Amino acid sequence: MTHDAARRNYDRLSRWYDWFAGSEKRFTEAGLRLLDPQPGERVLEIGPGIGHALVRLAQAGTRVVGLDLSAGMLARARRAGKRSGSEADLCQGDAFALPFPSRTFHAVFLSFTLELFEDAEIPGVLAECARVLKPVGRLGVVSLAKENTRPVRLYEWCHRRWPQVVDCRPIHVHAALIAAGFEVREAQRMVMWGLPVEIVVGQPE
Ligand SMILES: C[S@@+](CC[C@H](N)C(=O)[O-])C[C@H]1O[C@@H](n2cnc3c(N)ncnc32)[C@H](O)[C@@H]1O
């Protein structure tokens, strides 16, 4: 999918995204626990969707920015922030070219977003994360993990068949971070509907 097509797709999905987000919440929460955001830290979430983690990050006292390709998703995230009385800066943009100076953030977080990108694109996205992180910053990733199991193979078949709806795809999260020059500090494995979910926190080496 081109980025324009992804943007249009997520604008459409944003109306009923709660259905997906509901089942993903506990994994996102586990990712946030591992990331351990501290009051006053500047945190960037890439691909916040309808804003569940943004609300949590703001409630933790961080200065949080949410960057998403889709205006529809950002509108939903804005409403979630207003409802909860929490504050996040929101901006429309692309993970490939983050509109922030280098070394801006203490932490960057992606939940069910890194696996949207092709294998060849992931190093570029992670390089942007590394660029905007402070030298001792943390990158937290929650992602479907690639393993050779029947549920993963079935899910991958669905991804090939209906790429616009089943657009995430299991990836080797841990290896991708190491290849991009991160040292993995914390990792946790969970399971969602039989599918492995990997949660990893890394620091630029
Ligand atoms: C699968 S959703 C995950 C949403 C949320 N993080 C969650 O866990 O519920 C992926 C999000 O990434 C956004 N996205 C897709 N491609 C993007 C890109 N190139 N740059 C920034 N955001 C992107 C989508 O608009 C969508 O909000």
pTM of the model: 0.94
Does 188 map to a domain?
yes
State residue 19's pLDDT score. Answer: 72
Does 97 map to a domain?
yes
49 is in which domain, residue-wise? 3-144+172-204
How far does residue 171's CA lie from ligand 1's centre (Å)? Answer: 16
State residue 164's pLDDT score. Answer: 76
Pocket test for ligand 1, best of 96, 115, 116, 171 (most atoms within 8 A of CB): 116
Does 35 map to a domain?
yes
47 in ligand 1 pocket by Cβ < 6 Å? Answer: yes
Nearest CA, atom 27, ligand 1: 49
How far does residue 141's CA lie from ligand 1's centre (Å)? Answer: 13
Does 27 map to a domain?
yes
Distance CA(202)–CA(186), nearest Å, equals: 7
Q: What is the mean pLDDT for each group of 10 consecutive residues in the chain (205 residues)?
A: 85 81 88 98 97 96 97 95 91 97 98 94 97 97 94 90 83 96 96 95 94
Does 100 map to a domain?
yes
**Which CATH number does the domain housing residue 129 bear?**
3.40.50.150
Does 40 map to a domain?
yes
45 in ligand 1 pocket by Cβ < 6 Å? Answer: no
Overall number of domains in the chain: 1
Does 68 map to a domain?
yes
CB 11 within 8 A of CB 20: no
How far does residue 176's CA lie from ligand 1's centre (Å)? Answer: 18
How many CB atoms neighbour CB 60 within 10 A?
A: 17
Does 166 map to a domain?
no
